[in-house]
Amino acid sequence: MTVPLFEISDLHASTVACAPGQESVEILKGVSLTVYAGEVHALMGPNGSGKSTLASTLMGSSQYEVTSGSVKFRGDDITDWGPDVRAKVGMFLAFQYPQEISGISVLNFLREALSARKGIEMSVLELRLALMEWVDKLEMDAALLERYVNEGFSGGEKKRNEILQMAVLEPDMAILDETDSGLGIDALVSVSKGVQMVRSERPDLGILAITHYQRLLDHLQPDHVHVLLDGKVVTSGGPELAKRLEADGYESFR
């Protein structure tokens, strides 16, 4: 029997209380979802449903505490693993709001990340030459490679930079947290094409695309669609489910 690439089982998670007297709040209330190699899953839900909390929890963010349930990657229970370990074994998160990292160029960032992920030591020149094909494919300005990570980048440039990282680091499981957020039509098409190009080179890549809207899914063409409401997956189906959501809204699933 084929082992799932990624398996979330009855996952419950709460915010971590950081100050005296502050109480934790349960946000994820029993999420279950299974991704096999090569599949694209879309997770859709309104604001406040727990989508970004789920993305952060799946990558081991210290802001959230798993109170019950489990997360497995290639059959291994990774529920207690740190974010760095998850990234090294082949998990990747494209952030909804990519962070600026002052003082570190995109090239040096990718050089260090590639070394940590695969143990590959490349000079800046070697890496630059290796990146140029993807820079062209993603319609990026090559000058961005010399700039500090995401500093002064437009929304589209930040999202393309995330896809560039995904292409270079070659993860086995990618979580795309509202990659379409803040993008115009042209930038959305460019970023979506980039994801599809990465998939064409890595057909076993599993993807969990988290989004509000149908428009991203028109380009990614998911195999499965899940609806998250109030911290739970309330229904799952095929691509037609996203179209139903677009027509009827989330209230029809409550």
Binned at pLDDT 50, 70 and 90, residue 146 comes out as very high
The pLDDT assigned to 162 comes to 94
Torsion from C-alpha of 199, 200, 201, 206, nearest 10 degrees: 30
Domain count, the chain: 1
- CATH code of the domain in which 150 resides: 3.40.50.300
Q: What is the mean pLDDT of residues 215-228?
A: 90
**Does the structure show a pLDDT above 70 at 1?**
no
The answer to whether position 64 is within a domain reads yes
Q: Residue 111 is part of which domain span? A: 6-253
- Tokens 């064409």: give the residue: 200
Q: How far apart are CA 63 and CA 56, in angstroms?
A: 8
The answer to whether position 1 is within a domain reads no
The pLDDT assigned to 109 comes to 94
> For residue range 165-183, what is the model confidence (pLDDT) as tens digits?
999 999 999 999 988 887 7
The answer to whether position 117 is within a domain reads yes
Binned at pLDDT 50, 70 and 90, residue 125 comes out as confident
Q: What is the pTM of this model?
A: 0.93
Are the C-beta atoms of 116 and 87 separated by less than 8 Å? Answer: yes
